[in-house]
């Protein structure tokens, strides 16, 4: 599991490590039990994944959209090039690669997106995800799992809740998503990882970013004021697809509805 120190990777790690023999990695945020690897250290990365794994789940890379937009070259080095290295390393072995990709491969102009829909990224992050997907899919036998915005409390990395850490936060009313709840990802992945090609895993409910953030703020009774905003008010920044709803023609799985997910989140210990 590459990127086990991250928000999504941490959630997956917590689920998988109780059921499988998993080696997880970190880069800059050490976590007990994880091994350090930098995606740019190609020899180390190749040696690590060539170690007889059945599955290599790749959840590492440059994720904040603004960071990718600000430095496209770094985004390529962290999101695309490592996939080539991984493919070279596992070629001819029994290992299957599972790449976590994103709904940002789409432009957000359609009501919803299935695996058959054409990708048309509108930002650097989305373009790196398309490039990484293409590498993996050209090879055959591997799997791309596209996921939407993930919400919840990570075991050690709380990049989602960090947005609600200050006294106020803004959330867009003109961005629509079908977010998935972090704890649902591990079980979903385990049910999908026998597949090859592309699968989508979306959340049941379709909400605006403002509705999601307000729901989380209320569920956790946080002192943060969530202020509604729109792209116009937020300024130019990084282009974001306005409506991203992932649906699948390949399986019936969907993440839990927002209400039960928020109730579960509210009951988790706060670390
Ligand atoms: N979060 C979402 O809502 C969301 C939505 C769709 C898709 N995804 C996909 O899910 C995956 C994980 O996202 P996330 O939200 O968990 O991101 P994150 O919290 O930023 O975690 C990123 C992970 O990548 C690692 N990493 C970063 N630079 C690295 C480098 N140079 N070498 C090795 N590892 C490096 C980080 O390690 P350190 O922290 O130790 O440096 C961390 O483990 C990504 O592929 C992302 O595109 C996420």
pLDDT in tens, 146-194: 999 999 999 998 899 999 999 999 999 999 999 999 999 999 999 999 9
Indicate whether 44 pLDDT > 70: yes
Residue 271: predicted pLDDT: 67
Q: Which atom of ligand 1 is nearest to the CA of 5?
A: 43
Q: Separation of 31 CA from ligand 1 center, angstroms?
A: 14
Q: Which residue has the tokens 């398309």?
A: 130
Domain range enclosing 52? 7-267
125 is annotated as an active-site residue: yes
Indicate whether 233 pLDDT > 80: no
Q: Which atom of ligand 1 is nearest to the CA of 150?
A: 3
Please report which confidence band the pLDDT of residue 73 belongs to, taking 50, 70 and 90 as the band edges.
Answer: very high
Q: How far apart are CA 50 and CA 118, in angstroms?
A: 33
Return the CATH number at 92. Answer: 3.40.50.720
- Which residue CA neighbors atom 12 of ligand 1 most closely? 59
Q: Which residues contact 162 (CB under 8 A, 6 or more apart)?
A: none
Indicate whether 42 pLDDT > 70: yes
Please report which confidence band the pLDDT of residue 252 belongs to, taking 50, 70 and 90 as the band edges.
Answer: very high
Q: Separation of 3 CA from ligand 1 center, angstroms?
A: 6
Q: How far apart are CA 182 and CA 176, in angstroms?
A: 18
In the structure, which protein residues have their CB atom closer than 6 angstroms to any atom of ligand 1? 3, 5-9, 26-29, 37-40, 59-61, 63, 78, 100, 102, 147, 149-150, 157, 159
pTM: 0.97
Residue (of 116, 105, 205, 87) closest to 147 by Cα position: 105
Residue (of 194, 192, 172, 169) closest to 246 by Cα position: 192
241 in a structural domain: yes
Q: Which of 113, 125, 181, 201 is catalytic?
A: 125
208 in a structural domain: yes
- Which residue CA neighbors atom 13 of ligand 1 most closely? 8
Please report which confidence band the pLDDT of residue 33 belongs to, taking 50, 70 and 90 as the band edges.
Answer: very high
Q: Separation of 47 CA from ligand 1 center, angstroms?
A: 21
- Which residue CA neighbors atom 24 of ligand 1 most closely? 60
2 in a structural domain: no
Please report which confidence band the pLDDT of residue 235 belongs to, taking 50, 70 and 90 as the band edges.
Answer: low
Q: Separation of 26 CA from ligand 1 center, angstroms?
A: 10
Indicate whether 31 pLDDT > 80: yes
Q: Give 162-185 as a DSSP string.
A: GGGSSSEEEEESS-EE--EEHHHH
Q: Separation of 148 CA from ligand 1 center, angstroms?
A: 14
Choice among 55-64, 115-124, 234-243 with the minimum mean pLDDT: 234-243
Number of domains composing the chain: 1
Give residue-wise pLDDT tens across range 107-154. Answer: 999 999 999 999 999 999 999 999 999 999 999 999 999 999 999 999
Residue 232: predicted pLDDT: 74
177 in a structural domain: yes
Indicate whether 237 pLDDT > 80: no
13 in a structural domain: yes
Q: How far apart are CA 162 and CA 158, in angstroms?
A: 6
Indicate whether 236 pLDDT > 80: no
Residue 270: predicted pLDDT: 79
Burial class (CB in 10 A: 0-12, 13-18, 19+), 169: middle
Query: What is the chain's mean pLDDT, rounded?
Result: 96
1 in a structural domain: no
To test the pocket of ligand 1, the residue of 1, 4, 8, 99 to mutate (highest count of ligand atoms within 8 Å of its CB) is 8
């Amino acid at each position: 599991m590459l990127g086990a120190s991250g928000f999504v990777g941490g959630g997956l790690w917590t689920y998988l490590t109780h059921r499988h023999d998993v080696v997880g990695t970190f880069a800059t945020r050490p976590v007990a039990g994880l091994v350090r690897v930098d995606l740019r250290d190609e020899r180390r990365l190749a040696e690590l994944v060539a170690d007889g794994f059945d599955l290599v789940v790749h959840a590492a890379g440059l994720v904040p959209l603004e960071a990718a937009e600000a430095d496209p070259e770094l985004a390529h080095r962290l999101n695309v090039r490592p996939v080539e290295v991984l493919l070279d390393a596992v070629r001819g072995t029994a290992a299957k690669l599972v790449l976590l990709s994103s709904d940002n491969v789409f432009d957000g102009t359609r009501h919803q997106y299935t695996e058959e829909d054409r990708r048309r990224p509108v930002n650097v992050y989305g373009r790196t995800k398309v490039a990484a997907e293409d590498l993996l899919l050209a090879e055959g036998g591997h799997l791309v799992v596209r996921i939407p915005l993930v919400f919840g409390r990570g075991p050690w990395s709380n990049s989602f809740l960090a947005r609600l850490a200050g006294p106020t936060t803004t959330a867009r009313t003109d961005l629509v998503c079908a977010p998935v709840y972090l704890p649902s990802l591990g079980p979903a992945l385990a049910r999908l990882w026998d597949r090859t090609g592309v699968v989508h895993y979306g959340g049941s409910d379709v909400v605006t970013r403002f509705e999601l953030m307000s729901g989380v703020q209320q569920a956790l009774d946080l002192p943060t004021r969530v202020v509604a905003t729109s792209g116009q008010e937020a300024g130019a920044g990084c282009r974001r697809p306005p409506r991203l709803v992932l649906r699948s023609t390949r399986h019936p799985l969907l993440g839990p509805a927002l209400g039960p997910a928020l109730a579960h989140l509210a009951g988790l210990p706060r670390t």
